[in-house]
Amino acid sequence: MIIRDVIIRKLEMTMKNPFSTSFGTMQTRQFLIIEVVDEKGNKGFGEGVAFSIPWYTEETTNTSIHMIRDFLVPMLKGRTIQHPDEVNGVFKSIRKNNMAKAAVECAVWDCWAKRQGITLTEAIGGKKEKIDVGISIGLQSDFQALAERIHQSLESGFKRIKVKIKPGHDMKLLSEIRERFPDVPLMADANSAYTLDDLELLKKLDQFNLLMIEQPLASDDIVDHATLQKQIRTPICLDESILSAEDARKAIQLGSCGVINVKIGRVGGMTEAKRIHDICQESGIPVWCGGMLEAGIGRAHNIALTTLPNFTLPGDTAGSSSYWERDIISPEITVEDGTITVSQLNGIGYEVDLNEVERHTTQLFEIRL
């Protein structure tokens, strides 16, 4: 397969609800759609999940455009790709910029799967016909609003609830949740809001019987997390700290976590996500698929990834309607009884609605290779 054309689109879509974490609040979602076309006219799509502000990682929508236009796409010029796993190696000489790499690599995966006449799930070796999903609920203005969101999510069947915590919004918030919902499968994500100075508080969180606590300490740390894990019973789940399979290997070796959240964008693509899956599987560490407030294309890639066997815990891949008035794919992604049925259609398994994409496009670059 030879990639002949690449179209980079920057989109701006408004989420139904603002999403708040310890690092900030988002409602306008800027993201990229990468379209690749091969020499036979097959098309593939990937989503660039960096935010407009470098809060979660150092990348932004605009740094991704720069990396993709000026470095990554030119590296594909004249190259025959036998298998999409090769793209990871092609991009290896460029440091980090994982979300930019993943956007292009995921488009190549979709294109290749369509060219072979198989689903993306088959292409990566996934087996599940349905995946279990949970939901991530952002920080709310008050407990009443949070309780309402949790209640609705349980009514809709989500298999686990994730809430965001930060200093000052932790003990009381979790004890109120536990009082009202004593048995729900619950976890908390701190997005790096604590340090080891908060050890006594973090130890107290054990009483809430959380499935796990996600990324309590610094975004680049695996050493302090190992120290913390020795002193708390609740499994630590690493998110921000794991950017590669090598990071996963080291974190497991140090005992920094009991679970890993895999995000295709954060780790630089589907190939690296599979490697992390495999290393965790060999080490007895369960994984789940994280979310980046994606539109339909990114969500479709997440569903395929989740069909791998060591994705044993419900992920953050909720349906389109949890985020968007109208998604950019057809049909939209729907959740029934806390599960998503994996599409049997080729590639990502959903039609990209180019009219909807155009309606939200604020910038477009066409590159002919």
Site for ligand OSB, rule CB under 6 A: 21, 56, 136, 189, 191, 239, 290-293, 316
Among candidate residues 307, 328, 334, the one with its CA nearest the CA of residue 130: 307
Residue located via tokens 């690493």: 238
253: amino acid identity, one letter: Q
Q: Which stretch binds Mg ion (CB under 5 A): 161-169, 210-218, 223-231, 343-351?
A: 210-218
Q: Is 263 a catalytic residue?
A: yes
Q: Is 224 annotated as a binding residue?
A: no
**Joined tokens for residue 123:** 């292409």
Cβ 40 to ligand OSB shortest distance, Å: 34
Q: Coil, strand or helix: which one is 350?
A: coil
Is 214 annotated in some ligand binding site? yes
Q: How far is the CB of 217 from Mg ion (least distance, A)?
A: 12
Please tell me which residue in 162, 164, 166, 274 is annotated as part of the active site: 164
- Total interface residues for Mg ion by CB under 5 A: 3
CB of residue 79 vs ligand OSB: minimum separation in angstroms? 32
- Are the C-beta atoms of residues 306 and 333 closer than 8 Å to each other? no
Question: What are the distances in angstroms from CA 93 to CA 87, 88, 96, 226, 323?
Answer: 11, 10, 9, 30, 36
189 touches Mg ion (CB under 5 A)? yes
Does position 38 interact with Mg ion (CB under 5 A)? The reply is: no
CB-neighbour burial class of residue 41 (10 A; exposed 0-12, middle 13-18, buried 19+) = exposed
Work out how close the CB of 366 gets to ligand OSB at its nearest, in angstroms, rounded to a whole number: 29
Residue closer to Mg ion by CB (options 130, 149) is 149
The question of whether 204 is a catalytic residue gets the answer no
Among residue numbers 234 through 253, which ones bind Mg ion (CB under 5 A)? 239
Residue 209 tokens read as 């019987």
Q: In this structure, what DSSP letter does residue 125 have? A: T
**Complex with Mg ion: residue 121 or 136, whichever CB lies closer:** 136
How many Cβ atoms are within 10 Å of 192's Cβ, its own excluded? Answer: 22
CB closer to ligand OSB out of 62 and 219? 219
The runs of H, that is alpha helices, within 50-135 are 61-67, 73-76, 85-90, 98-116, 120-124
Considering the complex, what minimum distance in angstroms separates the CB of residue 31 from Mg ion? 17
Task: Using alpha carbons, select from 271, 269, 212, 222 the residue that is nearest to residue 242.
Answer: 222
Residue 132: which of ligand OSB, Mg ion, none does it interact with, CB under 5 to 8 A by kind?
none
For the annotated binding site, the residues are: 189, 214, 239
Active site members = 164, 263
For the annotated binding site for Mg(2+), the residues are: 189, 214, 239
What are the residues binding Mg ion (CB under 5 A)? 189, 214, 239
